[in-house]
Structure 1
Amino acid sequence: MPDYFHGYSVVGLVAVLGALFVTVAFAAGRLLRPVVPTREKMLTYECGVDPVGEGWAHTQVRYYVYAFLYVIFAVDSVFLFPWATVFDAAGFGGITLVEMFIFLGFLAVGLLYAYKKGVLEWT
């Protein structure tokens, strides 16, 4: 039983040392940095260009939906690579092919649903 808890104590010690290291690094940075606030330093930074207008900008939700759909299909396409290696193995051809068509069917249903909801319309 002592060996069982020894593994947890090592993990706990590493976690405590990591948290201590981060705390000391942030404290040292706070103590050593110069603090000279000026009006120019408090302005919003826009890639070297003087800021124009407010600091807040309105972003439409549809851009996030496009990004979310891209991530879903990109992650799902990652599953195609292991499928190709298993499909190449002897004895797995037919079953693997059927499973992949089921998987692609789920993707097609998701894409059809997004299309029917009007999510894919760029305006």
Structure 2
Amino acid sequence: MKQKEKLRFLFLTLGVLMITQPGAIAFANFDIPYGFYKDLTVWLSAYLGGAVILGIYGLLKRRELGFRFLSLYGLHYVVLFVFTYFLNLKVIGEINPIISITDFFFLTFLSFQLSIMLSLPAIFSPP
């Protein structure tokens, strides 16, 4: 039973990562395209916004998932958050150099919502 819950949680994590990709790339290219690194930054920030919701789900299922699994998920989130934050500063640091970690944390939720909203138009629009 525990293994089934862990696999379900990992499947949901990969699902959020895949669902946010088309909308995040469309959202990243609304203004002047900065290339691959901006697309990657927006995609990972959208995923991080959805990963918080998955973290709350994981806390609700903590008995089935276990402390060790959830601590690894938390470590995964923190490392990816720091990586994405500094990548964001590198890519758009000239435009907005004063973005803080707390601002970036709240922007991940906005990025998640926009990527979900733009997923279907991005998939079905012509290139």
Q: With the length of structure 1 as denominator, give the TM-score of the two structures.
A: 0.36
Point out the structure with the larger helix share: 2
TM-score, with normalisation over the residues of structure 2?
Answer: 0.35
Higher CA-based Rg: 1
The one of the two structures with greater contact order (alpha-carbon pairs below 8 A, sep at least 6) is 2
